Structure 1
């Protein structure tokens, strides 16, 4: 897996080169660029999986660079490093599907943790993509097989009891997969259709299954997990409330505050006092 670090300050770039434990993260190659134009040349010539970029740079900004990446349909995850806690920047970064927005000064440990989360997301998505079509075919074939057996099984005989046991185990595993996918994507808006597709289920059926095994609706669980993460960020970091709202997938600040108060009894601002 390869990384491209982009910053107009050479001391910041050099610091990243020696301060981040790239080998420990499993990074094969780290490229560096001092501006967006140089970054584009590298992106055209080399395979890059993660873009680690400053936002404010001479010429094109990091946001403009990411927009170019998206327009070029390059499959690259982006982490922004910036000294500016600007809500407008963060909102644009979210629209362009950046994975994280780190305020400087940040420790190399914090940067490593963010990169590791991105690596985990990339690996999970690649595995999912690799087996998606295969999994759908297996499910389709199994459904056809079970239908054939049920139709031809003698009426006076019971179907094997292990079928029910296997279905129970499968359902529990799917709920675990759903929870894991939600945890990996708390930074953006999640829809049940998208989640259902990840576990090869019908969206309505997934909703019923999730409620049965957790006692919560899918929407309630997602909101609860987002608010837990927001609570952690509010109580353990100096990030602005608006940035935290974006980090858990909300662009409407007042709606975020309303949901937070429903779960914790206070608004995010009151929590900070």
Structure 2
């Protein structure tokens, strides 16, 4: 079960969020409220808060500034920004800070439940990933002393965005058996080869969407995909929106 903190300077908004959605059915068993940044930070220090719903317009300390402070204190806290602004520059700033999702005002029951379910799914996924990384931390620590592990890391770093990259080609060029190489990669990164490559490429795609005016096909080629349709579909599957929608700062609602 999870703890939710609702941060808004208007009590009626805080009460509305609490009453609109049946939060217990989503998996939230404790709900806290804060009307300003100081109360928010005080609550976070006292309670193990998992999710924060944060209004962008706050007195004294605005929501984006507060979100940055919260992420610096604990990057694992999931933050949902509540905003009346559907502008790309706000979304760019929020993404750079590490905001996990957002809601556009006026909010309704369906929107609240959908965004909270997305966030809880993300938290569960991150917990599994953290456990996997703990299991493989021993291998990560000794990789610097192991020539095979070092060779794999250097190869991946150099070729991660090469469209020709494949497990078979990598094994051939490094002189490894494919099964042996697959095992090394899983020991180093905690996940299989294709999954790791996909994650790194999608992370780079998001950066390019934010920081350049490159077209979709240019981004696809830059990160190692020859097929722009494959890239677009993979981006949408990963982030829930298309690259175009991401650039525009428009969240695609789930059906």
| TM-score normalised by the chain length of structure 2 | 0.61
Does structure 1 residue 224 correspond to structure 2 residue 233?
yes
Contact 1:100/1:114 (8 A) holds in 2: yes
Written as runs of structure 1 = structure 2, the 5 A alignment for 1:1-273 is 1-135=2-136, 174=192, 188-189=206-207, 221-226=230-235, 229-230=240-241, 242-244=248-250
Q: Is there any run of 5+ residues in structure 2 with no aligned partner, and where?
A: 147-177, 186-190, 209-223
> In structure 1, how many angstroms separate the alpha carbons of the residues matched to 2:134 and 2:242?
38
Contact 1:55/1:62 (8 A) holds in 2: yes
**Cα distance change on mapping 1:108 and 1:181 into 2, 3 Å:** farther
Contact 1:99/1:187 (8 A) holds in 2: no
> In structure 1, how many angstroms separate the alpha carbons of the residues matched to 2:22 and 2:7?
17
> In structure 2, how many angstroms separate the alpha carbons of the residues matched to 1:92 and 1:35?
21
Secondary structure, counterpart of 1:32 in structure 2: strand
Q: Is there any run of 5+ residues in structure 1 with no aligned partner, and where?
A: 145-163, 191-210, 235-239, 249-273
**Cα distance change on mapping 1:97 and 1:74 into 2, 3 Å:** closer
Moved >3 Å (runs of 4+)? 135-140, 173-182, 184-190, 216-224, 227-234
> In structure 2, how many angstroms separate the alpha carbons of the residues matched to 1:64 and 1:227?
29
State the aligned residue count.
Answer: 201
Offset at 1:70? 2.4
> In structure 2, how many angstroms separate the alpha carbons of the residues matched to 1:186 and 1:30?
36
**Cα distance change on mapping 1:121 and 1:222 into 2, 3 Å:** farther
Contact 2:71/2:97 (8 A) holds in 1: yes
> In structure 1, how many angstroms separate the alpha carbons of the residues matched to 2:131 and 2:4?
22
Larger of the two Rg values belongs to structure? 1
Contact 2:233/2:242 (8 A) holds in 1: no
> In structure 1, how many angstroms separate the alpha carbons of the residues matched to 2:205 and 2:49?
22
* Alpha-carbon RMSD: 4.4
Contact 2:235/2:243 (8 A) holds in 1: no
Contact 2:7/2:35 (8 A) holds in 1: yes
